[in-house]
Structure 1
Amino acid sequence: MLDAIRYLVDNGAKWRVMPADFPPRDRVYAFFRRWRNHDLVREFHDRLRRLVRERAGRDSEPGAGVIDWQSVKADAVVGSDSRGFDGGDQI
């Protein structure tokens, strides 16, 4: 079941096009829905992240995060009240 869900997430596939070598899609979706409703999807993610970090010799919890963005010039129809300025890019 977990492999089927991972396949869907990894490939961006729709439930209706799940390959035949996985269990029936309605069964997989029922498991996913139950796990999601009980917050087990987050639990799986957090446990896996901790395991990977520990195996890499790092602290089990991340100490910092990185946020990235892209500055773009606004179109002429965008009002000046909703525009900002990125000093690093001079935009």
Structure 2
Amino acid sequence: MMWTNENRGRYNRSKLRYPSDVTDEEWALIGPMIPPAKSGGNKRTVAEREIVNGVMYILSTGCQWAALPKDLPPRSTVNDYFRRWDYDGTLDRIHHALYILCRDQVGREASPSAAIIDSQSVKSAEKGGFRSTRQAMTRARKSKARSDTSWSTRKAC
């Protein structure tokens, strides 16, 4: 798609409170994918759309949770829903649905038919692939054995 005068209006976000807020059109796609409130608990007191706006604000600005504007839901509420939706796969389902929709709008098949592999990926695969990258990314564990390094020097009296 090109930036034409007809197309430019679709992406104008100047009338929204924040550029990261979801439009009515976007909410029509995302809203039905939000899971209902758990049965047996209290009723939701915060609108799901405002929670999505809070999550989108954090993701688009990269700000700290403590810097979430006061006119959005409390940061603890937004963070709780963000973690819950990440854990139960809601965010993945939303991403996948929007991904397919975007590909469909530009006339492409739902899944790509080609992939690009860079030389670094090939080198990693030759050395053990997933195992070697996973080992580098795992957090070091503390040894339960007593460390001798703290007693390696004498104490000055």
Q: Distance in 1 between matches of 2:114 and 2:75?
A: 38
**What stretches of structure 1 of length at least 5 have no aligned partner?**
70-91
Deviations 1:25-66 (A, max 9, x none): 111111111101102111111111111111111111222234
Structure 2: unaligned runs, 5 residues or longer:
1-50, 120-157
Distance (whole Å) between structure 2 residues aligned to residue 61 and residue 27 of structure 1 = 35
Q: Is 1:13 aligned to residue 63 of structure 2?
A: yes
Aligned equivalents of 2:118 and 2:71: distance in 1? 39
Q: How does 1:65-84 map to 2 (within 5 A)?
A: 65-66=115-116
Within-5 A mapping of 1:1-91: 1-66=51-116
* Root mean square deviation, CA, Å: 1.9
TM-score by length of 1: 0.65
- Is the alpha carbon distance of 1:20 and 1:66 closer, same or farther for their aligned partners in structure 2, counting shifts above 3 Å? farther
Moved over 3 A (4+): 65-69
Change over 3 Å in CA distance of 1:68–1:5 after alignment to 2: farther
Letter in 2 for 1:25: R
Call closer, same or farther: CA 1:68–1:12 in 2, change over 3 Å. farther
Q: Matched residues in 1 for 2:76 and 2:66: separation?
A: 9
Report the CA distance shift for 1:66/1:19 in structure 2 as closer, same or farther (over 3 A). Answer: farther
Identity, in percent, stands at 33
Count of residues paired in the alignment = 70
